[in-house]
C-alpha cells in the first residue's frame, strides 16, 4: 500500500515587513485582505498542528497543491523554502504552485527558483520554469504528476490557466505512465471542475483538462484553491475519476470556511484494479490536535457520466 498525504493553501504567516514599494501593485489589495481577514484565520500554530498529525500518519509521500504564501514577497518565498525543509526530503514532498505564489509578475520565477528541489521531475535538474510542468515523479507504482495553473493576474482576480502547451505535454505523460501500468495522480492548484469556485477564481482551460483525462486517462486528481474538502468526479478513459479538494491547511476554527484539514489516500492494487481509500483528518473545533473527520471509498463504482459533488 502507498499512503499519499495531501495539503494545500498553507498561506504561511505572519507577513514579513512590507515596504511602500512592495505595495505599489496588486499586493495592496492582498495586504488589505490580510489585515482585515486572513491574519485572524491563518497562523502558524494551525499549520504546525496539522503537520504534526500528518507526520504521525507516516505517509510515503506528501503532495502540496499550492498557495504556500500570501503576497509572494521575497521574504515569504524564502520562509516557505525553510518550511518545506521541515516537511521532509525533497524527494518525498511534491509541490505545485498556486495563484498566491505567482501573485505579481516575477513572483512565479522566484518561487520556482527557491522551491525547485520540491518541483523537479525524476532525473531532472537545473532551473524550473513554466515549461517544466507537468513534472513526473514515480514512487512505488504511483505516478505523481505536477501541473501548474499559476500566473499573475489583475487585482481582485485569482484565476488559473491551463494552456495548450502544457496540455500537450500532460497528454504524453499520461500516455507513458498509463502504458507502464502506474497509478496516475495529478496535482493541480485550481479545481478542474466547473462551478467549484467563483468566476473570479476559476480555471481557464477546464474543458481542455477534462478532455485530456477522458482521452488519456488518470486515476486521481488532487487540488486546492477552494479551501473546501470536496469530492467531485469527472469522466476518464476507463471510468469516473475522483477530483479531491481539501480545506486550507492554515485555516483556524471559527472562520466561514472549514478549519484546517489534510487528506490521506491509501492506494493499493494494480493497473485496472486499483483501490483508493480517502481519509480526511483535521480540526473539528477549537481543540487540537486534529482527528479523523471521515473516510470515503473512492474505488466504489460511480456512473461514467457522473455529475456528482460531495462536500
- CATH number at 87 reads 3.60.21.10
Please state the domain count of the chain: 1
Q: Which three cell numbers stand for residue 63?
A: 503532495
User: Domain limits at 257?
Assistant: 2-310
What is the pTM for the complete model shown? Answer: 0.89
Task: Walk along the chain (311 residues) and give the pLDDT tens digit of each residue.
Answer: 999 999 999 998 765 556 545 555 555 444 445 455 555 555 568 899 999 999 999 999 999 999 999 988 998 999 999 999 999 999 999 999 999 999 888 999 999 999 999 999 999 988 899 999 999 999 999 999 999 999 988 777 789 999 999 999 999 999 999 999 999 999 999 999 999 999 999 999 999 999 999 999 999 999 999 999 999 999 999 899 999 999 999 888 877 889 999 999 999 999 989 999 999 999 866 555 678 888 999 986 454 433 333 43
- Which residues share a beta bridge with 222? 187, 244
Q: Please state, in angstroms and rounded to a whole number, the distance separating the CA atoms of residues 294 and 308.
A: 18
Using alpha carbons, list the distances in angstroms from residue 220 to 85, 112, 134, 183.
26, 24, 15, 8
- Across the chain, the runs of DSSP E, i.e. the strands, are 2-7, 61-64, 93-95, 135-139, 142-146, 160-161, 183-187, 203-204, 220-222, 231-235, 240-244, 261-270, 273-282, 291-297, 309-310
Decide: 90 and 118 in contact? Cβ < 8 Å: yes
Return the residue matching grid coordinates 476518464: 236
Alpha-carbon distances, residue 80 vs 44, 75, 277 (angstroms) = 12, 9, 30
What φ, ψ does residue 193 adopt, rounded to 5°? Answer: -140, 135
Amino acid at each position: 500500500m502507498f499512503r499519499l498525504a495531501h495539503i494545500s493553501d498553507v498561506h504561511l504567516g505572519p507577513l514579513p515587513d512590507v515596504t511602500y514599494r512592495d505595495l505599489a501593485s496588486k499586493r495592496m489589495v492582498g495586504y488589505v485582505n490580510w489585515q482585515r481577514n486572513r491574519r485572524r484565520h491563518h497562523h502558524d500554530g494551525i499549520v504546525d498542528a496539522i503537520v504534526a498529525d500528518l507526520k504521525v500518519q507516516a505517509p510515503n509521500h506528501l503532495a502540496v497543491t499550492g498557495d504556500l504564501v500570501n503576497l509572494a514577497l521575497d521574504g515569504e518565498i524564502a520562509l516557505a523554502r525553510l518550511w518545506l525543509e521541515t516537511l521532509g526530503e525533497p524527494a518525498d514532498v511534491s509541490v505545485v504552485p498556486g495563484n498566491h505564489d505567482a501573485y505579481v509578475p516575477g513572483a512565479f520565477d522566484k518561487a520556482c527558483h527557491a522551491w525547485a528541489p520540491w518541483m523537479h521531475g525524476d532525473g531532472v535538474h537545473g532551473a524550473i520554469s513554466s515549461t517544466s510542468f507537468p513534472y513526473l515523479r514515480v514512487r512505488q507504482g504511483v505516478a505523481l504528476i505536477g501541473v501548474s495553473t499559476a500566473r499573475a493576474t489583475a487585482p481582485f482576480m485569482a484565476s488559473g490557466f491551463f494552456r495548450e502547451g502544457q496540455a500537450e505535454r500532460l497528454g504524453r505523460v499520461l500516455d507513458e505512465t498509463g502504458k507502464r501500468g502506474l497509478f496516475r495522480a495529478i496535482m493541480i492548484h485550481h479545481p478542474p471542475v466547473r462551478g467549484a469556485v467563483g468566476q473570479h477564481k476559476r480555471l481557464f482551460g477546464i474543458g481542455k483538462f477534462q478532455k485530456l483525462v477522458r482521452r488519456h486517462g488518470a486515476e486521481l486528481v488532487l487540488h486546492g484553491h477552494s479551501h473546501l474538502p470536496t469530492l467531485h468526479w469527472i469522466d476518464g478513459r476507463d471510468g469516473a475519476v475522483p477530483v479531491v479538494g481539501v480545506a486550507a491547511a492554515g485555516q483556524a476554527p471559527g472562520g466561514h470556511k472549514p478549519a484546517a484539514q489534510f487528506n490521506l489516500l491509501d492506494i493499493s492494487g494494480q493497473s485496472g484494479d486499483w483501490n483508493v481509500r480517502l481519509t480526511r483528518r483535521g480540526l473539528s473545533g477549537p481543540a487540537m490536535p486534529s482527528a479523523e473527520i471521515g473516510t470515503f471509498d473512492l474505488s466504489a463504482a460511480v456512473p461514467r457520466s457522473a455529475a456528482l459533488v460531495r462536500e
